Structure 1
């Protein structure tokens, strides 16, 4: 039964070859548009994820501010100062915290035998290197032994190495920070850097050695990695520090919390919205192709009116006629869909990488947009194609099935 119906559908398509080919091309173009737009949306989302992943995601930074709300007997405008005791309380009392690390920085004169610059130097512990995903291209990172021994060693950024030592090997070379000699033990791998951002010009020395340059009693910030819900961890931090320093947890100016996962979640919402918009645009394009298919099928019904009358006179039921024309529409949609998906793959491989973050940041090629067609995208596009093809074919098929056999036989 079904074999005969599809056979009739294929025969009708061959009989009107040119019309069928044009319709198939329209459907292929529509489905290719859907796939490529979804691939672009997915590529945009992956690019955003890549930008955040270079710094790490499950981490939170806390930085001191000034109160803007009265709390207890304290007036607004009180400076909040963070200490190592605050860091220890966070580590001990807040569930989900994995590592905590202090950060104290100062802009100093950095000198080598070739050049002198004013750059920021941070006193850190080894845990901060793990939290911020710092990796070396040559040499090594700071160790706990460096902290325990108050070693005068420094790890420098890739751009700092280029500016201080040009093409020379920097490992083992001396640099002077505020006139104090330090030995370079590591050069960090380059990260994506926007404009005048100094992310690759940073210098890092052991936290204990930082006392030679700046008083480290009060911290510039506390970084931590964690497991669990980012909002729960942030709220717990605000509550604990509020109780310790006498400010309300709701006072957003008392401390600034850099919640990376919250920022990433906001970008994910934007990315999801973009993908939905692109799917809607692609579906409209495919819908236009579907209207073309519907029009062609309506013409086919009109041209084959006598044929339908003969089939009904020979005993064909309404459902047989309906299935015959619907199957023809679905076959056209299926062939066009296969060709459109194949075209989308060809275009995605041909286009390759689309400039995105590399236009803003040095070394940002990894965060450019790539048209990656996933099985999920193909599935969504196929479902959209089936819906459009069914709707486009159903209207002409219903019209054909309702024809009166006597009137159909009289049709000239």
Structure 2
């Protein structure tokens, strides 16, 4: 029976080929719009994920501040000073912490035979390179042996290498940092860089050797990687440092925490909101195509009134007539939906990437928006298509099924 009904639907579509083709194009355009809007939303979210991924996501930075609340006998405004004891305490006492590393920084003169620049120099413990996802381009990174031996070695950022050595290979070359000679052992891969940001002008030396440039008793910051709930980890860090340094754990100004996962979570909320909005807009577009389908089916019912009367006179029941016209609407929707999905894939591959972060940052092409068509977006669009096709076909089908056979046979 269903085979006969769909056969009749295909025959009716062939009989009104031009009208059917126009309707199919409208449905295809609607479903392609839904899929492409969802793909854009997914690409937008992926772009932000890529931006954060260059630093890592499950990481927290801790930087000293000043107390803003009285605690015990201490007044507000006391400078909090972080030390290596804090690094060890965090590593040993807070569950979920994977690595903790200290950092001391100072802006000094960095010189090669060709150039002289005033740059920020970081004295890093080796673990910090993994925590902050610092990837080596050529040579090697700072090692634990370099720290143990207080080696005079340095790793340069990609821009620092270019400015100091132009196109020359810096491996084995020497630079003077604050007047002290260091051997260049590696160059980092370039990261995405906004404007005059100095992210690629970094100069790294072993933490122990940094004491020849600056007193390393008090830290400028520390970075840590972790697994687990970022909110619970942050709360535990604040509580431990508050106890260690004698201030209130509620004092947010005593230490500053850069929690990248919290920032990423906020961007994810924005991304989800954008995808919901785009889905709504796409559904409206498909709904307009559905209205076109409904109008075409209403015209078809009117033109085939006498045919419906004959079918009813021969014993066809209301449900048979309803299924006949509903099947026609669903076949048109299905063909249009398949064509729309194919069109969406063609457009996504043709467009490639849409300029986004690379408009304000160099080397950021990986963080541009790409139209990402996922099985979930195709499924969501298909569900909307089925609902729209069913609703659009149901109204004309109900109207056709309710026709009085005697009046239908009299229809001219």
Q: TM-score, normalised to structure 1's length?
A: 0.99
Superposition pairs of residues 51-130 of structure 1, within 5 angstroms: 51-130=51-130
Q: What does residue 398 of structure 1 align with?
A: 398
Q: What does residue 334 of structure 1 align with?
A: 334
Please report how far the alpha carbon of residue 135 of structure 1 lies from its aligned counterpart in structure 2 after TM superposition. Answer: 1.1
Which deviations, in whole Å up to 9, do the C-alpha atoms of 1:323-348 show, x marking residues without a partner? Answer: 00000000000000011111111111
CA distance in 1, matches of 2:67, 2:310: 88
Which deviations, in whole Å up to 9, do the C-alpha atoms of 1:286-322 show, x marking residues without a partner? Answer: 0000000001111111111111111111111111111
Q: What does residue 223 of structure 2 align with?
A: 223
CA distance in 1, matches of 2:70, 2:301: 79
SS of 2:171's equivalent in the other structure is coil
Please report how far the alpha carbon of residue 71 of structure 1 lies from its aligned counterpart in structure 2 after TM superposition. Answer: 2.0
Q: What does residue 270 of structure 1 align with?
A: 270
Q: What does residue 378 of structure 1 align with?
A: 378
Q: What does residue 136 of structure 2 align with?
A: 136
Which deviations, in whole Å up to 9, do the C-alpha atoms of 1:7-53 show, x marking residues without a partner? Answer: 11111111111110100000000001011111111111111111111
SS of 1:373's equivalent in the other structure is coil
Please report how far the alpha carbon of residue 77 of structure 1 lies from its aligned counterpart in structure 2 after TM superposition. Answer: 1.3
Which deviations, in whole Å up to 9, do the C-alpha atoms of 1:322-377 show, x marking residues without a partner? Answer: 10000000000000001111111111111111111111111000111111212111
SS of 2:113's equivalent in the other structure is coil
- Within the alignment, does 1:159 sit opposite 2:159 as a pair? yes
CA distance in 2, matches of 1:323, 1:248: 72
Superposition pairs of residues 11-410 of structure 1, within 5 angstroms: 11-410=11-410
CA distance in 2, matches of 1:72, 1:14: 87
Structure 2: where are the runs of 5+ without partners?
none
Name whichever of 192-201 and 240-249 sits farther off: 240-249
Which deviations, in whole Å up to 9, do the C-alpha atoms of 1:133-157 show, x marking residues without a partner? Answer: 1111111000101000000000000
SS of 2:105's equivalent in the other structure is strand
What do you get for the CA RMSD once the two structures are aligned? Answer: 0.8
Q: What does residue 5 of structure 2 align with?
A: 5
CA distance in 1, matches of 2:69, 2:24: 67
CA distance in 1, matches of 2:15, 2:90: 77
Please report how far the alpha carbon of residue 381 of structure 1 lies from its aligned counterpart in structure 2 after TM superposition. Answer: 1.0
Please report how far the alpha carbon of residue 78 of structure 1 lies from its aligned counterpart in structure 2 after TM superposition. Answer: 1.3
Please report how far the alpha carbon of residue 201 of structure 1 lies from its aligned counterpart in structure 2 after TM superposition. Answer: 0.2
SS of 1:57's equivalent in the other structure is coil
SS of 1:117's equivalent in the other structure is strand
CA distance in 2, matches of 1:151, 1:222: 21
SS of 2:298's equivalent in the other structure is helix
Which deviations, in whole Å up to 9, do the C-alpha atoms of 1:71-125 show, x marking residues without a partner? Answer: 2222221111111111111000000111100010000001110000000000011
Which deviations, in whole Å up to 9, do the C-alpha atoms of 1:372-395 show, x marking residues without a partner? Answer: 212111111111111111111111
CA distance in 2, matches of 1:33, 1:167: 48
Please report how far the alpha carbon of residue 272 of structure 1 lies from its aligned counterpart in structure 2 after TM superposition. Answer: 0.6
SS of 1:252's equivalent in the other structure is coil
Structure 1: where are the runs of 5+ without partners?
none
CA distance in 2, matches of 1:343, 1:229: 42
Which deviations, in whole Å up to 9, do the C-alpha atoms of 1:192-251 show, x marking residues without a partner? Answer: 101010000000000000000000111000111111110010000001111111222221
CA distance in 1, matches of 2:148, 2:160: 26
CA distance in 2, matches of 1:222, 1:344: 47
Please report how far the alpha carbon of residue 405 of structure 1 lies from its aligned counterpart in structure 2 after TM superposition. Answer: 1.3
CA distance in 1, matches of 2:75, 2:303: 87
CA distance in 1, matches of 2:181, 2:33: 61
CA distance in 2, matches of 1:127, 1:310: 84
CA distance in 2, matches of 1:343, 1:175: 57
Q: TM-score, normalised to structure 2's length?
A: 0.99
